[in-house]
Amino acid sequence: MPTLRVELMEGRTPEQKKELVKALTQAVVDTLGSKPESVDILLFDIKRHDWATGGVLWSEQS
């Protein structure tokens, strides 16, 4: 049972997430030959003040 963990900066809509999990599930099915019902996807929304790139929090970037 493949399990994918996806960390996203908060702000994606439920529809965007729905499309993402659909596409990721299909990619696993096509690549690994898994059945769709065996693919688990965990989505984690990360707040901008909990994510940094290049030593700068995203909440502080313009």
- Tell me which residues are annotated as active site: 2
- What single-letter amino acid sits at 28? V
- The SS3 call for residue 9 is strand
- Between CA 33 and CA 60 the distance in angstroms is 43
Tokens of 2: 């493949």
